[in-house]
Amino acid sequence: MHEAVAPGLDGHCELIRLWEESDPDAVLAARRDEIVAVATGGTAIDGPYLDRLPAVRLVASFGVGYDRIDATAAAERGVVVTNTPGVLDDEVADTALGLLLMTVRELGQAERYLRDGKWADGGPYPLTRATMHGRRMGILGLGRIGQAIADRVQPFGITVAYHNRSPKDVEYQYYPSLVEMAADVDILMIVIPGGDSTRHLVNAEVLKALGPDGIVINVARGTVVDEQALVDALRTNTIHAAGLDVFEHEPKVHPDLLTLPNTVLLPHVGSATIPTRTAMANLVVQNLTTYLTTGTPLTPVPESTRLLS
Ligand code: NDP
């Protein structure tokens, strides 16, 4: 958990610091009837976990993605789950744009070329086949972050389309079919939630439709992409390149992604700045303190709003 959360809760509640306990399970068992809220920075929380804590009414999660928390099982037990939406949109969109530029123009590869002394010894870095100009982007998941990405790429002259489960009141072209969108664009920007419902949505068929000029950028969750299919598509030039901030089995990275020349890889740094992570921590604190004083947290996830209202 971010270091600002514990001090932020001072004076609002007794905080049990499970991460400092040698036997957290024993502490949970001993205090099971007193613990009313859980703050988590990424622990998997499912129905059986909550069954061990019958007094819990709130799970406050750090981060906007909450695919490791079963919010439906929580709602069935009368437990609200909160996340930290909104405060990280610009940061993640900036990262996505940087990753896109790096991937299209091979900026990471070019920098390594310079650092390896190849510029002086071997001449200029080869011209890149790809350019940002004249591209069309398909956003898989036009939500808060997807919209912030769309806002950023339009000044580059990039046309935006999107695929969600349902259309939004926006000017961009909507595709009910992900494969059909992939066939009509040459950048696939992935920014949907992870979890079972989106697992391997981006598969071999989608990558084939994207085609040989295609660029995949994933700032969502690694599970959304069939990573082996992506490796195969990159190796056979079925698509041109991929820029990835997230991985199916992170922090382990598929070894072929590390050696392929047409990948740019980041260690899940989408929101990872001090100001943005602090803002996320403050929202975790606000959700907990508002819940403790009013009984209603600030930013419940959609499942909690739908099932508990
Ligand atoms: P939002 O909920 O605002 O947007 C998600 C969008 O995805 C919605 O528009 C939704 O539209 C669409 N969507 C959801 N499920 C599906 C589906 N099965 N098929 C097609 N579209 C779908 O989320 P945010 O923009 O705030 O965040 C998006 C994700 O980005 C997070 O869940 C998180 O996993 C990831 N993230 C990654 C970070 C990083 O460090 N790399 C940092 C922050 C977030 P509809 O409901 O109509 O389908």
pLDDT in tens, 48-79: 999 999 999 999 999 999 999 999 999 999 99
Question: Which pLDDT score, from 0 to 100, does residue 46 have?
Answer: 97
Q: What is the CA(240)–ligand 1 centre distance, in A? A: 25
Q: 124 pLDDT exceeds 90? A: yes
* Mean pLDDT to the nearest integer, 74-85: 97
Instruction: Report the chain's mean pLDDT, rounded to a whole number.
Output: 97
Question: Which pLDDT score, from 0 to 100, does residue 1 have?
Answer: 85
Question: Which pLDDT score, from 0 to 100, does residue 126 have?
Answer: 97
Contacts of 101 (CB under 8 A, 6+ apart): 107, 132
pLDDT in tens, 135-186: 999 999 999 999 999 999 999 999 999 999 999 999 999 999 999 999 999 9
Q: 270 pLDDT exceeds 90? A: yes
Question: Which pLDDT score, from 0 to 100, does residue 309 have?
Answer: 81
| Minimum CA distance residue for ligand 1 atom 30 | 220
Question: Which pLDDT score, from 0 to 100, does residue 68 have?
Answer: 96
Q: What is the CA(98)–ligand 1 centre distance, in A? A: 19
Catalytic residue from among 135, 163, 221, 240: 221
Contacts of 166 (CB under 8 A, 6+ apart): none
* Mean pLDDT to the nearest integer, 241-255: 97
Q: Does residue 277 carry a catalytic annotation?
A: no
Looking at the DSSP bridge assignments, the partners of residue 202 are 225
Question: Which pLDDT score, from 0 to 100, does residue 22 have?
Answer: 96
| Minimum CA distance residue for ligand 1 atom 7 | 141
Q: 42 pLDDT exceeds 90? A: no
**Residue 208: both structure tokens together:** 């084939």
**Residue 233: both structure tokens together:** 């598509």
How large a percentage of the chain has pLDDT more than 90?
98
Question: Which pLDDT score, from 0 to 100, does residue 131 have?
Answer: 97
| Minimum CA distance residue for ligand 1 atom 35 | 220
Q: Is the peptide bond before 251 cis (omega within 30 degrees of 0)?
A: yes
Q: What is the CA(146)–ligand 1 centre distance, in A? A: 8
